[in-house]
Structures are given as C-alpha cells and as structure tokens.
Structure 1
Amino acid sequence: MAAANAEPIVAPDEDAADDRDSSLGDDTTSSTESLRSSILDYRRENGRTYHRYKDGKYNLPNDDQENERLDLQHNLFLLTFDNQLGLSPPNHSDSKVKRVLDLGTGTGIWAIEFGDDHLEAEIVGVDLSPIQPNLNLTPGGYVELQDIDVIMKSDDGTLTEDNALFKWNKLLEEAAIKLGRPFE
C-alpha cells in the first residue's frame, strides 16, 4: 500500500498555464465579436427571458429575477459552508491555486469572490448567458486615481517603453490632454 503523502510521480509542468497556440493566432476579438449579438437574442416566454442555446433544453430563465435567485443561492451556500466558498483544498486561502474554471458561473459572484481570496489565480467563468457584471466604465463615467504623481517613473530603469504599465500611463496622459484636463 502506497503512503498517503507520497510525492507525485510526474512533476507539474510550470508552463502548463501557457495554453496559447500560435496556429490559432493571438486576436480573439473576431472570434467572439459576432457571437455577442446572437447570444443576447433571448427567447421571451411568460414575461421571462431564456437563452437560445439548444433552445428549451435548460429550463431556468436568465433575467434579473433569476440573477437575484442565483446570488441568494450563493449566500445560502456560504451560510452552509461556514462562509467558505467550497470545501476542497483549492478553496483554502493558502492553496496558491493557479487556474480555476467555473462552469455555470451564473452571475459570476463565486468567481469574483474566489479571485478576491486568491489574487495569484487566473479565474475563467463560463455560462450559457452573458449575465456577469460589466466591470468597465460606461461612457461619460469618471475614473478617480489617487497617487502622489500620476506619471509613473522608475529609478532603476525597469519601466521601459515596452512595459504595459508605461503604455497604460502614456494612454492615460493622452486621454487627460484630450479631455482638457492635463496632469501638469
């Protein structure tokens, strides 16, 4: 009989998180853009909306009333599990989980809370209906940044022009100028 705490026979592949395939290209916009209009074409029945994927196979609606029920169900699970998002080892705060796939993510509340507890993890939520919250700023909205100096700098030369933070900062500076509110 093998010991319960035996080391794994095969060591985990550290590059396993990189599942990019150069033959597929690196622009996913075109592959999902046309899907958006069809996925939002909900079927209406008895004052409720339902997704059209395999029409009629899934019996629950996807409207605001259903979203509230799903969030209530999430809270009931939290009460049942003593405020834990789950009982398996990846749910423990010290698990250092790298990737999580939430199938049937619903409103996304579990995935969002799991992400808040596991900042090191990449979390992907998949559902039949795109009912998850839009975590972006609507046109005309405000962004409030609080920093001593909004222009990012580095004294050791690590903030180069090809760095994402540098690019973001440059775009932010250009946007402020276009809005007539330069930082200087």
Structure 2
Amino acid sequence: MSGSEAARVALDQDEGISELDDGETTASVRSSILQNREQYGRRYHAYKDGTYHRPNDEAELDRLDIAHALFAIINEDRLHLAPLKPEPGRVLDLGAGTGAWAIEFAEAYPSAVVVGVDISPTMSEFVPPNVQFEIDDVEDQWTYSKQADYIHCRYMVGSISDWPKLMRQCYDNLNPGGWVEFQDFDINYYSQDGSLTEKHAFRRWLVLCMEAAGKVGRTLRVGMHLEQWVRDAGFTNVQVFKVPVPIGPWAKGQRMKRMGLFNWTQIFEGLQAVSLRLFLNVLGWTQPELESLLVEVRKDMKNKEIHSLYDV
C-alpha cells in the first residue's frame, strides 16, 4: 500500500497443487536449498546466502508471526483488500515467511489453490491440503506452468533488488481480470509532533540501515514507490491505501493502541536481526559498536515522550 498523504494520528494523553504447478517446469528441491548457516550467533538460510539479510531462526520466525498479527490489525482482520471472487482460483503468495497468511487464506477459501514462495525454508509443515510451499527466489525467472488469479506480496521491504522486474513478472503471470496486491512499509520513521528528531539514536540507526541497504541494492522506502511501479508494469484499476502506523501504544483509540504495541514489539525484537549483516558486513562496524548503538536505540524506543510512526 502506498499513495496519498496519511491521516494524522491523535495522541492519547492518557486440491491438488498441480493445478498451478505441474512440477515439470519447477526445479526439484535440493538438499542444499534446505541448509542453513550460523553467523553472529544467529541462523541464516544458505540458499543464495546474502540475498536476504535477516536470520531465519526461531526468534525471527516469532517476530514474523507478530508482524502477521500487526497486518491483521492494520487491515481490520481482512486477509486481502482486493475485491476477490468467492472462489479466488489460483493464488500465489510471494515471500510467504512462516506461511501464516497462506494457511489462513487457504482455510478461508478451501476451493483456492495456494502456493507460498520464500527463499528461506521457514514455512510450517502442517498445512491445509490446498496449500503448497516452495523454496525459491521470486527475483529469478518464474517458471509456473499456469497463470495465477491473485498474487499477494506483503512485507518484502529490503528483500528485493529489482522491484519493477518483480512487478512485470506479476503482470506476465496473472490471468486477465486477476488481482495483485502489494502491502509494504515506507520505513521512514517520523513524528507528527516533533518528538522524534535526527539527534535521536532511533533515527540515526534508521539512516544507517538505509545507507547499508542502498549499498547492496535495496530500498527500505518501498511503500512510497509501489503505486508508480505497479502502474509502470501495466496494471490498471490501481487502488491505493495509506495507513500511518504508530510505534508504541501512544495513539488514541483501542485499535491504534494495539497496532502501535504490535508494531513496537516486532521492531524492538527485530533490531539485532535487521542490523547484524547490514552494519557488520556492509558498513564495516564491529559487533560491540553495533550493540552499543542498539542500547541507545532501545532507550529511545522505551521513551514515552517520543511518538514515532511510519506509513504502510
């Protein structure tokens, strides 16, 4: 989601998978794809090592499940915003993560055929019969034998090097009349009351993350570009929604408080996971230097006088 100016946030003073993929055009999963490696005390996937900078250990998978719950709050418990038919047909979930969304969608639409794709082998083994997970890089050339009716792509910020190419692949692999839905962050923390400044460690850390991501060909400001990328790929009937998401439970209203709390938690718990490879491998920092910065970042995040947020 991206688009027009976000609203102001008020501060609270108080069957068969073969239908989609017949297996003839998809490479078989090799044992190497399922391997992992240890680095900096965290576990990372070994397939195309380095293309995804976050770990895939249990702590990170727990954080991804929190992020899934966050999107449920943002979307008011809707699994999709696209106006899908009661029987959606063939569905492709890009960047499936733990598989939570794909599983919930498959349960809600038992006639659908759902394929979740991720570069890391982190999906659940216990899935509905109409779900299949594949380990693959969505930036490679797609080889699906049949088109999809709905493509879902969420929270891929920092993971894609060529977004326009990904959009074109979606366009080329979508049936006429089908829908593609992108939901992602514009990770540019700000405050509407001036309480978050460039002097804060939270902002300094983010700017450094942006710098490191840029050096490896990634952007953290995906949300602000989604609409143009989608239109450039040839899609029509483009609908854009923009939601300001608080970081912390400081905003008015029960929904906004829950949104802020879940968002704060997934960011706070993921600080090290996001930072390690970006700072140590890309920026050349030492691990003690990074941990020292993160101590200050955590202090800022716990400061109730800072009312930070960003847009989705």
Aligned length in residues:
109
Q: For 1:135, give the aligned amino acid.
A: F
1:52 corresponds to 2:49: no
Structure whose CA Rg is larger:
1
More strand by share: 2
Q: Where in structure 2 are there 5+ consecutive unaligned residues?
A: 1-18, 128-312
Q: For 1:88, give the aligned amino acid.
A: A
The share of aligned pairs that are identical, in percent, is 47
Go from structure 1 to structure 2 and tell me whether the alpha carbon gap of 1:38 and 1:20 turns closer, same or farther (over 3 Å shift).
closer
Moved segments of 4+, more than 6 Å: none
Equivalent position to 2:89, from 98, 103, 119:
98
Match of 2:70 in 1: 76
Following superposition, the deviation at residue 57 of structure 1 comes to 2.2
Superposed CA deviations along residues 103-130 of structure 1, whole A, max 9, x for unmatched, are 1100000000000110110000111112
Equivalent position to 1:135, from 126, 134, 140:
126
Normalised to the residue count of structure 2, the TM-score between the two structures is 0.32
1:65 corresponds to 2:59: yes
Secondary structure, aligned partner of 1:85: coil
Secondary structure, aligned partner of 1:101: strand
Q: For 2:97, give the aligned amino acid.
A: G
Normalised to the residue count of structure 1, the TM-score between the two structures is 0.53
Matches within 5 A, 1:32-51: 32=29, 35=30, 37-51=31-45
Following superposition, the deviation at residue 95 of structure 1 comes to 2.8
> Is the 8 Å Cα contact of residues 20 and 90 (structure 2) preserved in structure 1?
no
Following superposition, the deviation at residue 96 of structure 1 comes to 1.3
Following superposition, the deviation at residue 87 of structure 1 comes to 0.7
> Is the 8 Å Cα contact of residues 51 and 62 (structure 1) preserved in structure 2?
yes
Say what the alpha-carbon RMSD is for the aligned residues. 2.4
Q: Matches of 1:121 and 1:113 in 2, distance apart?
A: 12
Q: Matches of 2:124 and 2:74 in 1, distance apart?
A: 25
Q: Matches of 1:18 and 1:134 in 2, distance apart?
A: 20
User: Which structure is higher in RCO with an 8 Å CA cutoff and minimum separation 6?
Assistant: 2
Match of 1:119 in 2: 110
Secondary structure, aligned partner of 1:89: coil
Q: Where in structure 1 are there 5+ consecutive unaligned residues?
A: 1-16, 137-184
